[in-house]
Chain A
């Protein structure tokens, strides 16, 4: 047995004399914590499953496209706008599931009180949580679009010529990614501020987007069954009795004027499809020529309306989120 060669001293309580940060340091610390929480970093394996799985699902379509382009050399050059439409639903799912994790446990366990007695204001707490979540979502989205860009370059005759001719697509997809991720992160976080159950928050967000799309389609659907036949040339009504249109809208000299269920208001009701608000702005950035029903109807509105609608969909929940935390009883 060896003899003891040293002694352990209990120095007792030691006061801290090192550097101390202020409010900015507090916000930065919370931001880092939020970033790690979103990805499940520093936690057990189970906490990582969902974020990793969801991120892989979001990146999967561009990754498959890239593999086909790089390995097999097959496929057509893809549009970033198309990929945004595919990714929107996946990003919404990711946000609906991950956003509650950032706010609800703190409130349910009373940890929010401990944050608010530190050099942090309620607004700064919300801003740190939201901006970290936004950065994670934005990073995943941009990574996916870098893959799309790489695929497009590989399918081109000359990758550099492609890049030179299409460089404008890069700021366009970056800006669109910002527009979409601000949208998909703000709304789920706002919903999470009003419930104590993570599952409820996720289900509510997903339901809203699942319900508003068919609701908008239903209210703006073209209905030809009750159209009154008109003379194709003069436009005069040739028969007062409504008749069903068969195989299209015109039969010989008689033209059937199809009407939307909500008539003149259809161009407003189409906005109910909330999920299209950010992708439509993206389409405008990409000068996408594809004109679906949504784009056709929104085109009838002043240009500022879809932009204002998007702003309302983001700022409304954002304001509700801040109000909720400012009025929180600690």
Chain B
């Protein structure tokens, strides 16, 4: 396993009597990591501590091997895209990005080149000399992403990058995030309250709720095939249930489908035999996949 980019141990943040983060232990490694949780779960607080904007009440966090609230120079290698509006009105995107690159430590000549390159990568090449005020919401969101990447950070933190976008704009933004992580090789921590965004974009996931981590791991682990199978038949459903019962397999009905939970792979043969015996017309026999929503359901129960 590679060296963690972000590591938190017993990280706690209190605002008066309100606990925003409670003894959080987490590791963020290479790739795209999703920080998933409902509003008020503590995602933004965790990001602000990682950026060094907040100091933890207890515990500690290291980012790129340094404590971010003690050594702010690491921000030359970090990018951040806030959720809220953060762009000036009467400045061109090109000029704005060039300035932001310079404030991040890039010399003026290189900053101009980087600004032009980044605007091309986010699809704003043609519009780069227009005032940002004239941009649509989707274009502004892309400028926000570009300013976070313009100084070529090792890691970028994206706070709700699809907020306020329509479905098409949302998919474009997620595609840009995927390209940033996979083609540009920039590590990403993406916070979102939308499971679909995290599931379709991230390699790893950290689920946070009420200021505490409730799950973390590879997205594939949460969405892998399970031992539960869905069977859809056009007719003779009762005969199928009876045939399965004769073979010691209990079937339940859920949303019109028969659901069976198998103890071993060999039981699939019994399912095949039961379907053949009942002479039902089979439309689907498929393993169920886990969903990220199951994590929240498990926590609730």
Contacts and interface: CB of A to CB of B under 8 A. Distances in A.
A117 interface: yes
A168 interface: no
A14 interface: yes
A47 interface: yes
Interface in A1-47: 12-16, 18-23, 25-26, 29-30, 33, 42-44, 47
B107 A119 contact: no
Contacts of B218: none
A186 B88 CA distance: 24
B75 interface: yes
B87 A119 contact: no
A105 B53 CA distance: 21
Residue from A12, A13, A23 having most chain B Cβ neighbours under 10 A: A13
B110 A22 contact: no
A110 B85 contact: yes
A13 B121 contact: yes
A22 B95 contact: no
Interface in A129-178: none
Nearest to A121: B72
Given A21-B107, A105-B88, A114 B100 contact: yes
Given A44-B90, A114-B100, A330 B53 contact: yes
Contacts of B75: 117-119
Bin chain B's interface residue count.
35 or more
Contact of B183 (A13, A18, A42, A120): A13
Interface stretch (B76-84, B241-249, B256-264): B76-84
A115 interface: yes
Using C-beta atoms within 8 Å of the partner chain, give the interface range for chain A: 35 or more
A16 B106 contact: yes
Interface in B74-112: 75-76, 78, 80, 82, 84-91, 95, 99-100, 102-107, 110
Nearest to B100: A114
Nearest to B114: A16
A26 B105 contact: yes
Tell me the interface secondary structure of chain A in the complex.
loop
A114 B53 CA distance: 11
Interface string A286-316: 0000000000000000000000000000000
Given A13-B121, A16-B110, A29-B103, A23 B89 contact: no
Nearest to A46: B90
A18 B107 CA distance: 9
Interface string A102-130: 00011001110111111111000000000
Question: Among B48, B76, B147, which residue has the most Cβ atoms of chain A within 10 A?
Answer: B76
Contact of A120 (B85, B95, B103): B103
Interface of A: 12-16, 18-23, 25-26, 29-30, 33, 42-44, 47, 105-106, 109-111, 113-121, 330
Given A105-B88, A115-B103, A118-B103, 7 more contacts: A16-B110, A19-B110, A22-B105, A23-B73, A30-B103, A114-B147, A118-B104
Query: Which 9 A-B residue pairs are closest in the complex by CB-CB distance?
Result: A16-B152, A29-B102, A110-B86, A13-B184, A21-B105, A117-B80, A20-B105, A119-B75, A29-B103
